Amino acid sequence: MPSRESYKVHKDDKSLVQKAKREANQEDILAAALGMRMGPQKPPATFWQPLKLFAYSQLTSLVRRATLKESDRAPRSEKVHNFKVHTFRGPHWCEHCASFMWGLMAQGVKCADCGLNVHKQCSSLVPNDCKPDLRHIRKVYSCDLTTLVKAYNTARPMVVDMCIREIESRGLKSEGLYRVSGFSDSVEEVKMAFDKAGEKTDISVNAYEDINIITGALKLYLRDLPVPIISYDAYPRFIEAAKLTDPEKKLEAFHEALALLPPSHSETLKYLMAHLKRVTQNEKFNLMNAENLAIVFGPTLMRAPNLDAMTALNDIRYQRQVVEVLIKNEDVLF
């Protein structure tokens, strides 16, 4: 009967033979992958070691990339490029495919927000990762909200922040706040000042004593947005939520609708609703409750997307209800 020691030696020898076979098979596979033809006399072990290390590192990298979640490899961007047909002076190359852009006029398209230059046919292939540059931002009013926020690297548009700070510092008790209109020429003057000077614009009491001019400038900014604060994509969900009668289901529906807003829109709406809530807390002075403010801000914050005139008219009352719910439940919804 064989001893325990001889059994162990036999087992070790068997393991070494199996390991040698595995390594030989690995070498054959590696040789095939590299397109090498193996003769009867194989290269020495020192030849295979660096190749094995290289193959292992490449395989590890491939496995790591393959196991990444889709969201990790291609994060969703919130800003698409704003491409416009452009005529370039001098030779230009496409920044997507690196090919020459032929022609004397309208050779390609240029992003009006970040300056990216590409062929027209390449524009649909470019990732939605626009990073707006202040050099390309011509104005503040009528500029897309997300574009402005990204260009200035702020949480909200500076117009909203500056106007609300000024209103809260000296206007919360002003009678008819937001309902009373400021002198239109002065409101237009504030608009042009923001377009020209941006955050350096002076809207203090020394420049504009009437607080209604500042409220008018804020309302004008919100009305002039190409995409309203409550975006076109989220609009139907907000209208549906406003039609619900059950209080719990209504708040739940509003939560779901708010989740559809782009981050910059959501942050701006949150800041604005907190401000309007503070306005209502001074109702005994300014006579502006949530319902009155909703009448003012309903059509300002929401616009019906491509609906017929009759449907848009019917939606006006629901727009008011949406804003009223947002103001009254600001602490719960945001």
The domain that holds 111 is classified in CATH as 3.30.60.20
C-alpha span between 214 and 178 (Å, rounded): 9
Burial of 157 (0-12, 13-18, 19+ CB in 10 A): buried
pLDDT of 68 higher than 50: no
User: Are 85 and 120 found together in one domain?
Assistant: yes
Q: Give percent of the chain above pLDDT 70.
A: 75
47 located within any domain: no
**Mean pLDDT taken over the chain:** 81
Q: Domain range holding 120?
A: 77-136
User: Are 179 and 318 found together in one domain?
Assistant: yes
pLDDT of 304 higher than 80: yes
User: Are 82 and 202 found together in one domain?
Assistant: no
Q: Is the dihedral of CA 83, 85, 90, 95 positive or negative?
A: positive
Q: How many domains does the chain have?
A: 2
User: Are 180 and 325 found together in one domain?
Assistant: yes
Predicted pLDDT at 79: 72
61 located within any domain: no
List helix spans (H) across the chain.
4-34, 45-67, 70-73, 145-152, 158-170, 184-197, 211-224, 235-243, 247-258, 263-280, 283-286, 290-301, 309-328, 330-333
273 located within any domain: yes
User: Are 132 and 185 found together in one domain?
Assistant: no
Name the band, by pLDDT with cuts 50, 70 and 90, for residue 306. Answer: confident
Which of 138-142, 212-216, 279-283 shows the lowest mean pLDDT across its residues? Answer: 138-142
Which of 38-47, 187-196, 202-211 shows the lowest mean pLDDT across its residues? Answer: 38-47
| Averaged pLDDT, 230-244 | 96
User: Are 279 and 226 found together in one domain?
Assistant: yes
Which of 106, 136, 166 corresponds to the end of one domain? Answer: 136
Name the band, by pLDDT with cuts 50, 70 and 90, for residue 74. Answer: very low
Q: How many Cβ atoms from other residues are within 10 Å of residue 255's Cβ?
A: 14
CATH of the domain at 307: 1.10.555.10
User: Are 112 and 164 found together in one domain?
Assistant: no
| Averaged pLDDT, 1-20 | 53
User: Are 121 and 192 found together in one domain?
Assistant: no
218, 165 contact by CB (below 8 A): no
User: Are 233 and 269 found together in one domain?
Assistant: yes
pLDDT of 165 higher than 80: yes
Name the β-bridge partners of 109: 85, 118
Predicted pLDDT at 305: 84
User: Are 122 and 214 found together in one domain?
Assistant: no
User: Are 163 and 132 found together in one domain?
Assistant: no
Predicted pLDDT at 321: 97
294 located within any domain: yes
Name the band, by pLDDT with cuts 50, 70 and 90, for residue 135. Answer: confident
User: Are 216 and 247 found together in one domain?
Assistant: yes
pLDDT of 100 higher than 50: yes
324 located within any domain: yes
116, 81 contact by CB (below 8 A): yes
234 located within any domain: yes
100 located within any domain: yes
166 located within any domain: yes
- Kindly give the pairing relationship between strand 83-86 and strand 117-118: unpaired
Predicted pLDDT at 33: 47
The tokens describing 176, both together, are: 């008819």
